[in-house]
Amino acid sequence: MLRLLLDLESWFEPDARRDYDPAELVRYALGGSDYWADLALGWMEQGVRGEGLLQALLLLEGQEHRPQSLRHRARLVRQSL
């Protein structure tokens, strides 16, 4: 998944053909740096299906070493599922 992280820097296109599951890329990025987690949350806000991402969002919310704004955004995304 590491090589696919750069895809997160583009707007999420739900109908785009990919060789991977966007939700899996989002899951991977949520566990990475704050930068990648922020972009992953952006993809979720843009339409990545998040049914299977509840645990990853809860984990991010509970990581007190992460910026408060990132944790709060993860909670908002989770609540919108």
How do the residues of the chain divide into helix, strand and coil, expressed in percent and rounded to 5?
65, 0, 35
* Domain limits, the chain: 20-79
Tokens of 36: 């990648």
pLDDT at 50: 85
Task: Quote the pTM value.
Answer: 0.94
Distance separating the N- and C-terminal Cα atoms of the chain: 24
Rounded Cα distance between 68 and 6, Å, is 24
What string of pLDDT tens digits covers the 81 residues of the chain?
A: 899 999 999 999 999 999 999 999 999 999 999 999 999 999 999 999 988 999 999 999 999 999 999 999 999 999 998
